[in-house]
Structure 1
Amino acid sequence: MSVAMALTNTLLAHSNKYAPGDDSHVKSDAPVPLSLRRRCTVETDSVAGIDVYTLTPKRGGADIEILYFHGGAYNAGMITPHWWVIRSLIAATGATVHVPSYLLAPEHTADEAYPSLDAVTDDVLLAAGSRRVVFAGDSAGGGIALAEAQRCRDRAGRNADHLVLFSPWVDVTMENPAAREVQKRDVSLNCDLLAAAGLWWAGDRDPSDPLISPANADLADLPPMTVVQGGRDVLAPDVIDLVGKVRDAGGSVHLEEAAEGFHVYVAGWWTPEARRALRLAAQGIRGDGK
């Protein structure tokens, strides 16, 4: 573990744990940082009733489109670290990034949110033409990215060329007993609060439903994946199980693990672990060697 990662874990351990079961979270999105506005042209459009941010590099752009779904336990808007991750991906790939500000729980459920998410996905895939398309996301957004790839496959239309999943939340039930063991070392998340947030998102569905917990869906015939996961994260056991299931189904997955990494540790761009993971994610986004 690097010194930077150790210090970050210590700082996080002395801050308040994120409480996704608390509906007092800010629903509005953090503004796009000035560093990104200097690098990119930023546009906001409405698609199927939700805002979609599109960030296009002013220089050094590539023929790559990323559809990025943010985390926040399905009940919080974008925070500044989400923009940090997006900034890193743009800097490494030259991709144009589309970020939907999707409907949030508890005011809305997955059944209410997915029609607009599907519409955004379809728009990005159609407009991309021959350009490479990548679905990416962190935490809850990683769950959405996986679910959208499954839905594209099931509709037999165009799908993403690659998936990039940062600490994805793929089973909202939080029933894996191994997660309770990891919680002793997790500096930011709590299993019970996550499970409560998952119930909000599920609405009338069982939280184990594949739409809500995409690890329970058919995992065959999905795009190649890059999965980044930290060991000090209660989601780690389910993510490791997901990787094994995808491989058993014949899929291609590159798993990058940091044993002492916190939840979505790629946001900690000052750590060598995050920089390595972001380089590997960029390789998948660009399709290097494929």
Structure 2
Amino acid sequence: MNKSQHPLTGHDQLQVQQSLAEQQTHRANFTGSMRAYYDEMTAETPLAAAMRSEQASDSGWWLHPQETRTEQVIVFIHGGAYMLGSAQAYRGFASQLAVRTGYSTFVLDYPLAPEHPFPAAPDRVIELLKSLIDSGIEHIALVGDSAGAALSLVALQHPQLVKKIRAAVLFSPWTDLTFSGASFNDPNTRDPIFQPSILRDAAAAYLQGTLAEDHRASPLFAQYSLLPPLAIQVGTEELLLDDATRLAAQLAEQGGEVQLDIYQGMHHVFQRDIRLDAARHALDIAASFIRQHQ
């Protein structure tokens, strides 16, 4: 396993405080639903310049850079604690990888809990990936954030799909719905995004009676017979820090090629805020990793 620690810059120390304060003010003044708020917040990541987007029925959105380098494709699976998020709102975030790689990018939609509990989300992800592969796409870089990273790991458990996936990038992966990680249970963890109760409630709404140890719900507990190279990124200020670090160690033990990048002072899925030095650096590293393994 290749592990790197990235220090907090002076610029980011101030920018993180400003960004989090803006987010808190936005939430306090927002009068719509939580889903509408999350989509509006996520959509603040700007669509990269010279990017063409087109909706693919109700299955997601395609993003095409002005100059597509190859036939390689990124498939992006969005986060949102299985209850929030949409491909449309995530276009800006996904476009930041599309423009850095030059690869066309497909952002998947999947059914959300609690209306559609486990295993609706992983089943739809598998179905849509199979559809893309059946259409002739055979060189895929799989990217996901938070719950979307966990869904990416479920796809890597599928023997037919994993053969077409050349690399995977996981931003702040939520891998353990049993919440056994030390960072989650440490009272000294100062996560500016989550309280433990938020994630526990989301897990209950998603699982609805399914055991949290199920390897498709908690991919930390899965055995992977075949793995593409994986890049995992996480911030030190996350309740889910150990979801990422334990995953990296276990995948490396199972023979995977793993690159783990830990960003000091960063919060959950900080990569969405491209005003941050760390976000741009992390996106550059992720894009380089994808190109290297395509």
TM range (shorter): 0.7 to 0.9
Q: Deviations over 1:25-48 (max 9, x none)?
A: 2169559789638623322223xx
1:134 corresponding residue in structure 2? 141
Indicate if the aligned counterparts of 1:4 and 1:270 stay in contact, CA closer than 8 A.
no
1:21 corresponding residue in structure 2? none
- In structure 2, which of residues 56, 59, 66 is the aligned counterpart of residue 51 of structure 1? 59
More off after superposition, 181-190 vs 100-109:
181-190
2:118 corresponding residue in structure 1? 110
1:86 corresponding residue in structure 2? 94
* 16 and 180 in structure 1: CA distance in 2 versus 1, 3 angstrom threshold: farther
Q: Deviations over 1:7-54 (max 9, x none)?
A: 233235545499xxxxx52169559789638623322223xxx43111
**Aligned-partner residue type, residue 73 of structure 1:** A
Matched, 1:201 2:206: yes
Displacement after TM superposition at 1:193 (Å): 1.3
Unmatched segments (≥5 aa) in structure 1: 19-23
Indicate if the aligned counterparts of 2:118 and 2:207 stay in contact, CA closer than 8 A.
yes
Matched, 1:287 2:256: no
Q: Deviations over 1:214-233 (max 9, x none)?
A: 11111342111011111111
3-state SS in 1 of match to 2:193: coil
Tell me the distance in 1 between the aligned counterparts of 2:39 and 2:258: 31
Displacement after TM superposition at 1:141 (Å): 0.6
Indicate if the aligned counterparts of 1:220 and 1:246 stay in contact, CA closer than 8 A.
no
Tell me the distance in 1 between the aligned counterparts of 2:45 and 2:89: 13
Matched, 1:186 2:191: yes
1:2 corresponding residue in structure 2? 9
Indicate if the aligned counterparts of 2:68 and 2:104 stay in contact, CA closer than 8 A.
no
Matched, 1:210 2:215: yes
1:146 corresponding residue in structure 2? 153
Tell me the distance in 1 between the aligned counterparts of 2:61 and 2:270: 23
Q: Deviations over 1:109-159 (max 9, x none)?
A: 1222333221211122233445x31110111111111111112x2x47733
- In structure 2, which of residues 76, 81, 85 is the aligned counterpart of residue 73 of structure 1? 81
3-state SS in 1 of match to 2:259: strand
2:104 corresponding residue in structure 1? 96
The sequence identity of aligned pairs, in percent, is 25
Number of aligned residue pairs: give it: 278
More off after superposition, 32-41 vs 178-187:
32-41
Indicate if the aligned counterparts of 1:186 and 1:234 stay in contact, CA closer than 8 A.
yes
Tell me the distance in 1 between the aligned counterparts of 2:235 and 2:161: 33
Unmatched segments (≥5 aa) in structure 2: 1-7, 28-32
Indicate if the aligned counterparts of 2:79 and 2:147 stay in contact, CA closer than 8 A.
yes
Tell me the distance in 2 between the aligned counterparts of 1:4 and 1:62: 36
More off after superposition, 138-147 vs 170-179:
170-179
Matched, 1:269 2:274: yes
* 119 and 285 in structure 1: CA distance in 2 versus 1, 3 angstrom threshold: same
**Aligned-partner residue type, residue 42 of structure 1:** S
* 79 and 260 in structure 1: CA distance in 2 versus 1, 3 angstrom threshold: farther
Q: Deviations over 1:231-276 (max 9, x none)?
A: 1111111210110000111110011111211111111212222222
Indicate if the aligned counterparts of 2:79 and 2:145 stay in contact, CA closer than 8 A.
yes
Using the size of structure 1 for normalisation, the TM-score is: 0.85
Displacement after TM superposition at 1:91 (Å): 1.2
Displacement after TM superposition at 1:177 (Å): 3.4
